Amino acid sequence: MHPRRRANPHPSLRLIAGCIAVALASASTAAQTPAQETPQPSRTAPYTIVSPPPTRAQHAMVVSVHHDASDAGIEILKAGGNAVDAAVAVGFALAVVFPQAGNLGGGGFMLVRMHTGAAHFIDYREQAPAAATAAMYLDAHGNVVPDASTLGYKAIGVPGTVAGLAYAEKTYGRLGLARVMAPAIRLATEGYILSDEEATDLAAARNLAAFPASRRIFQRDGNFFKSGDRFTQPELAATLRRIAADPKTFYTGAMAAELAASVQQGGGLLTAADLAAYQAKDREPLLGNYRGYDIVTAPPPSAGGIVLLEILNILSGYDLARAGMQNITAPDMPLLGDRTPQQVHLIVEAFRRAYMDRADYLGDPDFVPMPVQQLTSPAYAAAWRKSIQPVAPSPSATLTRPAGFLPPPPSGAYLPAESTQTTHFSVVDAEGNAVANTYTLNNTFGSGVTAGALGFLLNDEMDDFTAKPGVPNMYGLIQSAANAIAPGKRPLSNMTPTIVVGPEVCPPGPSLQCKPGKPLLVLGSPGGSTIITTVANDIISILDNGLNVQQAADAPRFHHQYLPDVLQVEKAFPLGVVEKLRASGYTVSRANQADEHNPGVWGSSEMIYIDPKTGTLLGADDQRHHFGKAAGY
């Protein structure tokens, strides 16, 4: 057990993915039942996943994929910081302790919802350098050059993380950048203890081995780190100190010149002018409603919020709780969590239709006009719902979009994708301010390139653009002309930081002095194209099916993205349900089924639920990883 982890860490899904048991609720779990945690659940689940109880706190909570980063956020909250201060601290700390996706050299999105009801979406997504061209990854014959957009210097987009975190701190934080960065600087200087999983990840990364500086720092020149080793990063510590003193140096100062020079020496496109031109953008979040709760979520250039709202709008016309109760006592129907054939069918058909629209219409809002209002319209969802059969799947090739709602889609539109190696964290403070943040390097450890002597990894985010319309990117998904590379453009993303909010509280009578609703759920996930479906299923698990927040995080996942026309399920997904879905006409793929040593999982739900009756915060750290933590006080 890691010496700084909580006293009773949960077992990893890597060990139990294939053999999670289902048990009837007992007296020992009654105190954790969703009937007490959810204000208006459709039902109380008559069964439960064998999960640890959620982590409880009365004042504030931080949940992230790494225990040291969660502790950094709690340190800042106890020092008088608010949720944004803590989120910025976690973001910089993850750049030290989770180099797989935590970063200075990548980008992402931060959703902020203040206790006053004001909500902000900070877009710090990477963007293409000015010298980027639509055909930059094609050879003389017009074919995609292997690895050109995923490995090395030409794969690097202009990083946005430092700009985004610095903007968030200056605009919405209290303590100042130097204070909130102190935990990250300490972790880089003094080091942190590696778990077996972390050491294995570092040693196995081939993209790190391809570049001398990365191999030296992260793989100790082939003398690989082992479990229990202390990993220090003095070069990164020095860089963090410089950013804490003056974040502008990353984009317009000496550090910008060093960064640009290191990329250009390797043959990349990034210039000092690209860095100087970069700005984080404070956008208006999208707002929807599901089961009486407000859904505050990500606008473009994330596709996540639009697709999430469309999915929930379609599903709002069904009694999912009743569908989830069907066959629960059948001896041939093993259940895990809240998954039944009928409920999965309805959810998958909503996924299929929303992802079809994502494929056809979405891109960077600064470059591509999008019918956001129409796509998220309840009337449009109702029209889609009429095409869903009660039992049989709708083959994707046969789908016809409801007429009269949307303009014709752009020609040559196909589904874009992004890496599964992203990370999400959630924060709620004692005042009720909440932050959901998702950010990424794209591929695991990004491009593999370390920025000269600055000590941090750089993204390979250019692969999120379309290298060639109709040709799959590194994740096998075909991309669109609407997502083509252009100077200064930000690639379409699936990242879906989301906050679910209760209704306004209004006094009796005609008074206009209503108080904003309080946050109920703060969530998000990594997982590439599966991010949106993971977030949707987490919301459904809690609001419709009555699972508590930890059970929802641990429930086996399923995903459909329109094309390819395949229902994907995690390896732990109940086989009885899989077989009934196949019998009804679905093509079902179980993740990594042929590899008995692979857990066959995706995503990582790092969620916070706030009990509306007691104000108790319940944190869920996804069991799919060994070293995450829900920390609170």
Q: What is the dihedral of CA 103, 67, 185, 236, to 10 degrees?
A: -40
- Give helix 304-315 / helix 531-543 axis angle, nearest 10°: 40
- Gap between the Cα atoms of 467 and 465, Å rounded: 6
Residue 216: HSE in the Cβ half-sphere, 13 Å Cα cutoff? 13
Query: By the 8 A CB rule, do 512 and 10 touch?
Result: no
- Gap between the Cα atoms of 481 and 554, Å rounded: 37
- Gap between the Cα atoms of 573 and 304, Å rounded: 24
Of the chain, the end-to-end C-alpha distance in Å amounts to 22
- Gap between the Cα atoms of 400 and 271, Å rounded: 45
Query: By the 8 A CB rule, do 160 and 126 touch?
Result: yes
| DSSP class per residue in 414-471 | ------S-EEEEEEE-TTS-EEEEEEE-SSTTTTS-B-GGG--BB--GGGGSBSSTTS
Classify the C-alpha dihedral 347-38-16-342 as positive or negative. negative
- Gap between the Cα atoms of 375 and 360, Å rounded: 11
Residue 502: HSE in the Cβ half-sphere, 13 Å Cα cutoff? 20
**Is the previous residue joined to 402 through a cis bond, with omega within 30 degrees of 0?**
no
> DSSP class of residue 215?
H
Classify the C-alpha dihedral 259-263-265-266 as positive or negative. positive
SS3 state at 54: coil
> DSSP class of residue 144?
B
- Nearest to residue 440, comparing CAs of 425, 451, 427? 425
Phi-psi group of 416: left, alpha or beta (phi > 0 → left; psi -120 to 50 → alpha; rest → beta): beta
Q: Which residue reads 């695991």 in tokens?
A: 444
**Is the previous residue joined to 491 through a cis bond, with omega within 30 degrees of 0?**
no
Query: By the 8 A CB rule, do 543 and 38 touch?
Result: yes
- Gap between the Cα atoms of 190 and 177, Å rounded: 20
| DSSP class per residue in 27-74 | HHHHTT-HHHHSSS-S---SEEE--PPPEEESS-EEEESSHHHHHHHH
Q: Which residue reads 């990250």 in tokens?
A: 184
Catalytic residues: 422
Please state, as a whole number, how many other Cβ atoms lie within 10 Å of the Cβ of residue 533: 30
Query: By the 8 A CB rule, do 604 and 525 touch?
Result: yes
